Every structure is written in structure tokens, then in C-alpha cells.
Chain A
Amino acid sequence: MQLIPCPWCGPREEAEFHYGGQAHVAYPEDPSALTDEEWARYVFFRDNPSGPFAERWSHNAGCRRWFNAVRDTRTHDLLAVYRVGEPMPEVTA
């Protein structure tokens, strides 16, 4: 079982968390102006890197708050956690 360091509660078991996919995907500013192509990008296309990945987690069985993490998808190592609204920290994988 992995320990995930919730920025509010500290390290807790992975089973307490819910995964939210890629972080920093902003809702389109002017949705009605989007082409089909742009909607497709927004709805269906996400980064899928082999390496560091900025992603969202929710501490469902704890404080129930969302936060962001940078995790190496090759090793599953959590390289950094940070609060929503903060920029992605620099990491070395």
C-alpha cells in the first residue's frame, strides 16, 4: 500500500484517496467559441507521459479536499504534493 502525503492531513494510505487525472486542465474560457476539434481536445485528450505527471487527488476518506501531486508514472513515486491554485513545483525524477 502506498502512502500519499495529503497536504492537509499528512501521509495516509492510498485506499483513502480518489484519483482525479491530469491537473491544470482549465475549463475553456469561452466554451461556445470552441470548434469540435477544440472540444475534443478538452474533453478526451490528456497527457499520458511515462515519467513525472501533474495530477489531481482527492482525500475522500479523510479531509475530503482536492490537491495536486507530481508523481512519476514509471515508479509511482510521489515527487511533490501541493495545494490547488499553487503552481506545479519543480521536480527531479
Chain B
Amino acid sequence: MTSPPGAHLPEHPDFLWDNPEPKSSYDVVIVGGGGHGIATAYYLAKVHGITNVAVLEKGWLAGGNMARNTTIIRSNYLWDESSGIYEHSLKLWEGLEEDLGYPILFDQRGVLNLAHSLQDVRDSVRRVNANRLNGIDAEWVDPAGVKEICPIVNTSPDVRYPVLGATYQPRAGIAKHDYVAWGYARAAHAMGVDLIQNCEVTGMETSGGRITAVETSRGRIAAGKVALCAAGHSSVLAEMVGLRLPLASHPLQALVSELLEPVHPTVVMSNAVHVYVSQAHKGELVMGAGIDSYNGYGQRGSFHIIEQQMSAALELFPVFARAHLLRTWAGIVDVSPDASPIVGLTPVGGLYLNCGWGTGGFKATPGVGDCFAHTIAHDKPHPFNEPFTLERFTTGALVDEHGAAAVAH
């Protein structure tokens, strides 16, 4: 007798979380099961003891930008406001594997942000100084220093965009994005949080200026508080309560090469030539570009962006000429006017906003999870997200991080 196909395979390992039916009511409903949504649920339960919480995800858990980003983690932003929240996040990354009891392959291999023009050099040195004043590790390195840290970078002067130096943050690095999401999900589930997949929020109910419930593809769910963590879809959700956001949703593409021997020891980013590169633990070169120019919710972008990105990568790393491109993909990023996020209260009571992270919110996952949970629990922003209000676009108190964040992630 022949056995059926797969009969020799072991049992499926234990699932890291359940797939519960939604209850009719929760204290807190989080919309969006990406990194930010799951991390927020985790810190609500862990730090604030709030466990009657549901995370509603329209697709599968962490299948949005969380599954699509290039995992660069750093805290070398220019302004004090940004230093606060990104450095808080980096410190949490440094203890996260232990905190979650789950491997996340966090690897502090450092990041080089290249300067290619005199203006770049001045801006970069200024940023190094600003970082140091905020207690963030940062160094200015000259082209020889760049070559020492990353020998495969082309530092010859006779290229279109010569490398004139770089900022270096040794504590920066990468992590395995899926493991981060799964680690948070497993721990949140263990504390009683319901992670509900295939559940799209389609409407919101308010009464007397307060949020009371969400309508979903799986029925109405009453909620004491609702927290939006919908990244690229934030405008669509806010619109459900008549709230307008200063966001534009754009495609952002990335790609990987075939698996290669270790050749690239750090992370290299360049705003001027629009590319950033690291090598994943498995061996693929991971590269990202700038956003596609147009608004888009299609999770796909245009091919000429990939072409530009590859030509930039080849100029910086001639050794990549023989590598084959394996896969390209796109996410939907919610870009804000000052390249900084919006995290805080809204004019609707009990409705909280976390969006506008655009091309760079993966690194913020632990930090914003912690601060947003605090904001929800106390109905008051945490000091680290206090500057990132929606009102700043009216008062003019912008946190302009275009220099540190524009193409870079």
C-alpha cells in the first residue's frame, strides 16, 4: 500500500497565535495588524494591563508594509523631536529579543549614509553633531573610512556622484521583519489579545463626538477606544469619521537579488542616487528605491523606478553587476508633508491616530508601539509622541526630516 503524499511529514508545529471569532465588544480595537498594530496591542497588555483588545486585520497578519520593508533600523534623525522617539525605539530594539522571548535576528551592523555633494557633506556633518548632542552614536567618516567599513563601495572620484564621505551610526542595523511581527503577535496572544485576520473595517460609529463601534466585514464590533494603525490606508479610515489627513499614499518598491556569499557587512544608504542596500542574513542583497511619484493603493509600482535604482546601485557597487535580480514588490506608504509621523489624539473622543510613517516606520515599531499604547491608555500623548500631532500642520510646528528621511528609510 502506498501512503498519501506528505504522510512522512511531521505534524504542523504549534501555531503562534489563534484565529478567534471576533467578540461583540472590546475595550480597545486596533485597526491594522501590521507591526505597529500588533506592537501597540503588546504594550497595551504588557505595560498597561489592558488585555480586552482586538487587532483587526483585513488581510493576513503583517502582510502589508511589515512584510515588504527593507528592515533598516537607525535613530540618526536631525531634530530633537525625532531623536526622542527613534532613539527610544532603538533602545527597545536592543532588548527586544529577550523581551519577546523570540528570535528576531536584530543585527547592529551599522549604517552609512553617503554624502555626494558639498551640501550633502554640510548637512551630514550637522546631523552628526545634532545626533551627538542628543546622545546618539554618530560619526563623520571620510571616503577612506567608508572603504574601510564597507570595502565594496566604489569610492573613486571619477563617477557621476562621487562618495565624499558618510555619516556612520554603529548601533544601527537590520532585523528579520516577519520574526518581529510573529514575536509580538505570539506574546500579545499569550496575554489575551485577539488577533483577528480577514476582518476589514468598513465604517465607524460615533455618538456625541465619541467613537462607539466599528463596522467590519465580520460584523459590528463595539469599542471603548479605537486606534488606527493602517499605514497606507490611514486616509481611507479617517475619512469614515470625516477626518481629513495631510497624507498621500504612494507605492514604494524594493527588490532582492539571488542568494550570495556574504559580501556586504553593513547598511549603505544614499539619498542623492536613490538607493539603499544591505545583505540579508540568508544572503540576498536587499535594495530599496524612492517612492513612485503618483498616489497609488495597488501595491505595485513602475519598472523605470527599479531601473534607476539598479543603475544607482551599480555605480556605487560595481561588484553587483553579475548578481541576478530575484524579486521586486511594493507596499503602500503614507507620506506626510514634513516626513514625520502623526501620532496622537483626534477630534473624535476615543479615536487615536498613528500614521504618516511613510517610508521609514519599521524602525519605529517598538518605540511607537510603546508610546501609542501609552497614548491610548492615558488618553494623553506620551512625551515622545507629543510633538507629532495633527495640529502641527496648522500651528506650523513641523518636524522637517526630509534631509534624514526623504529617500532613506
Contact = CB atoms under 8 A, between A and B. Distances in A.
Contacts, number: 64
Given A45-B393, A48-B235, A55 B294 contact: yes
A15 B247 CA distance: 24
Nearest to A48: B235
Nearest to B234: A48
B406 interface: no
B298 interface: yes
Given A1-B304, A14-B302, A50 B297 contact: yes
A24 interface: no
A46 B337 CA distance: 11
Interface in A1-21: 1-2, 13-15, 18-19, 21
Interface string B237-277: 00000001111110000000000000000000000000000
Interface residues of A, number: 27
A45 B298 contact: no
A76 B304 contact: no
Interface stretch (A25-33, A67-75, A80-88): A67-75
A21 B248 contact: yes
A75 to B, nearest CB: 6
B294 A19 contact: yes
A19 B302 CA distance: 13
A18 B304 CA distance: 13
Contact of B303 (A1, A36, A44, A50): A1
A41 B246 CA distance: 8
Name, among A2, A43, A50, the residue most crowded by chain B CB atoms within 10 Å (CB to CB).
A50
Nearest to A17: B293
B339 to A, nearest CB: 13
Contacts of A15: 302, 304
A48 B293 contact: no
Contacts of A71: 294
Contacts of A36: 394-396
B248 A48 contact: yes
B202 to A, nearest CB: 12
Nearest to B336: A44
B395 A50 contact: no
A53 interface: yes
B298 A76 contact: yes
B296 to A, nearest CB: 5
A50 B246 contact: no
Nearest to B235: A48
A75 B298 contact: yes
A45 B303 CA distance: 29
A40 interface: yes
A54 B293 CA distance: 15
A2 B302 contact: yes
Nearest to A35: B394
A37 interface: yes
A2 B293 CA distance: 13
A71 B295 CA distance: 9
Name, among B233, B248, B249, B393, the residue most crowded by chain A CB atoms within 10 Å (CB to CB).
B393
B191 interface: no
A14 B247 CA distance: 23
Nearest to B233: A50
A50 B236 contact: yes
Contact of A76 (B236, B247, B294): B294
Contact of B244 (A13, A19, A45): A45
Contacts of B293: 18-19
Given A40-B393, A73-B296, A48 B247 contact: yes
A74 B298 contact: yes
Name, among A37, A39, A46, A71, the residue most crowded by chain B CB atoms within 10 Å (CB to CB).
A46
Contacts of A1: 302-304
Contacts of B297: 50, 73-74
Nearest to B246: A44
A55 B394 CA distance: 24
23 contacts: A1-B304, A15-B302, A19-B294, A37-B394, A39-B394, A40-B246, A40-B394, A41-B244, A44-B246, A44-B337, A45-B246, A46-B248, A48-B236, A48-B248, A49-B235, A49-B236, A50-B297, A55-B294, A73-B249, A73-B297, A74-B298, A76-B294, A76-B298
Interface of A: 1-2, 13-15, 18-19, 21, 36-37, 39-41, 43-46, 48-50, 53, 55, 71, 73-76
Interface of B: 233, 235-236, 244-249, 293-298, 300, 302-304, 337, 393-396
